[in-house]
Amino acid sequence: MQQRQLGTNGPQVSALGLGCMGMSGMYGPADRVESIATIHAALDAGITLLDTGDFYGMGHNEMLIGEALKGSKRDGALVSVKFGALRDPANGWSGYDARPGAVKNFLAYSLQRLGLDHIDIYRPARLDPNVPIEETIGAIADMVKAGYVRHIGLSEVGSETIKRAAAVHPICDLQIEYSLISRGIEDGILATCRELGIGITAYGVLSRGLISGHWKKENAGAKDFRTFSPRFQAENIDKNLALVEALRKIADAKGVSVAQIAIAWVAAQGKDIVPLIGARQRARLSEALGALDVALTAADLSAIANAVPKGAAAGERYAAVAMAHLDSEGKH
Ligand SMILES: NC(=O)c1ccc[n+]([C@@H]2O[C@H](COP(=O)([O-])OP(=O)(O)OC[C@H]3O[C@@H](n4cnc5c(N)ncnc54)[C@H](OP(=O)(O)O)[C@@H]3O)[C@@H](O)[C@H]2O)c1
């Protein structure tokens, strides 16, 4: 598999990473056996980057990855973990804690659940508005010195926070939503990362399945992330699915799938960008891997730009309450 360098000082990783969130209920029930088979298939195909968060299924996702990585499967796999999001017993979300003491506490539990002696990339999931980023990064840097963490990443923060964090310790990558219909990072954040030698791990490349070519209006109603996502709501879904149909014409003409075009478009935005694929079934993974063979020509890129112009999506990428936590959107 093609490799990409995550930031000036970061690790070499496969050109696509596997995001494991959907394997722990964020997109409805997932099949445990199929999830583990998907992680193994990804590793066998040469994917080396696995992404998780300690709050995905309240530890469920880390335990699943821990099980999948038992034995020789661990060799060569890099695990990226987000921490700091607070959950409640009713599956709710109740804020963020990125205080130095909390960093060490979260890390201790993650290592145990993953069955690992270190985490390859450790990052706060969001900026904790009550804690200066320097303190959070300083605490992770202590854990790097102690050997429990290899590299430090960030997630959904804006340029000012990125600069302040990078002044404390090298940052290997920023994890942030980036897709044909979520292009906010092009307005400054991407340039800041490039200036500072920080890579991008792009998530939501298929906009949570919306632009995968597989999403149907009738799927609405399932109690998952999409129940609350503005882009899936009745008032926006027709407009958004019309964009997908415009994209499908281009995909059909090239003999590839809509998901492959959408993933290939993100990968084509720079060698410093690694799309995270949210597959939880081997068939979806295999489709996503096919994106690596899609070469987009200048004509394709211009057709895509016409089909899905910047800012074309109806609705914001998160519900208002979650948008308020995004330093990357200037909401602090
Ligand atoms: N830093 C952050 O704030 C943040 C936020 C969200 C996610 N993430 C990370 O990024 C990863 C990817 O995000 P995401 O899951 O939202 O991404 P995504 O790829 O935009 O969406 C995944 C959804 O697309 C559907 N899909 C349809 N065709 C697919 C294909 N060929 N390959 C993959 N998925 C396909 C999946 O299908 P099915 O439902 O059919 O399985 C799943 O529901 C997550 O797993 C997580 O690790 C980070």
Q: What is the DSSP string of 177-217?
A: E-BTTB-GGGGTHHHHHHHHT-EEEEE-TTGGGTTSS---G
Task: Identify the pLDDT of residue 39.
Answer: 97
Q: What CA–CA distance (Å, rounded) separates 203 from 255? A: 25
278-315: buried (b, 16+ CB within 10 Å) or exposed (e) per residue?
Answer: bbbbbebbebbbebbebebeeebeebbeebbeeeebbb
Helix, strand, or coil here: 49?
Answer: strand
Angle at 305 between CA 301 and CA 308, to 5 degrees: 130
Q: 174, 208, 285: which to mutate for ligand 1, most atoms within 8 A of CB?
A: 208
If you take atom 21 of ligand 1, which residue's CA is the nearest one?
Answer: 208
The CA 120 to ligand 1 mean position distance, Å, reads 21
182-190, long-range: CB within 8 Å, 24+ apart, which pairs? 182/207, 182/313, 182/317, 183/310, 183/311, 184/328, 184/329, 185/328, 186/310, 188/158, 188/159, 189/158, 189/159, 189/162, 189/328, 190/270
Q: Which atom of ligand 1 is nearest to the CA of 257?
A: 31
Task: Identify the pLDDT of residue 332.
Answer: 52
Task: Identify the pLDDT of residue 76.
Answer: 86
Q: 21, 32, 34, 79: which to mutate for ligand 1, most atoms within 8 A of CB?
A: 21
- Exposed, middle or buried by CB within 10 Å (0-12, 13-18, 19+), for 329? middle
Task: Identify the pLDDT of residue 227.
Answer: 85
Q: 277, 329, 331: which to mutate for ligand 1, most atoms within 8 A of CB?
A: 277
The ligand 1 site (C-beta within 6 Å) comprises 19-22, 27, 51, 82, 125, 155-156, 175, 203-209, 212, 214, 259, 276-281, 284, 287-288
- The residue behind tokens 């009550």 is 130
Q: What CA–CA distance (Å, rounded) separates 228 from 319? A: 6
Task: Using a cut of 0.85, tell me whether the model's pTM lies above it.
Answer: yes
Task: Identify the pLDDT of residue 323.
Answer: 92
Q: Which residues are annotated as catalytic?
A: 56
* Mean pLDDT of each 10-residue bin along the chain, 332 residues long: 95 98 91 97 97 97 96 84 96 94 98 97 97 98 98 98 98 98 96 98 97 89 82 93 97 97 98 97 98 96 96 94 92 55
Task: Identify the pLDDT of residue 102.
Answer: 98
Helices 32-44, 60-68: crossing angle, 10 deg rounding = 50
Domain range 3-329, CATH architecture: Alpha-Beta Barrel (3.20)
The CA 215 to ligand 1 mean position distance, Å, reads 12
Task: Identify the pLDDT of residue 331.
Answer: 58
Q: Which atom of ligand 1 is nearest to the CA of 205?
A: 20
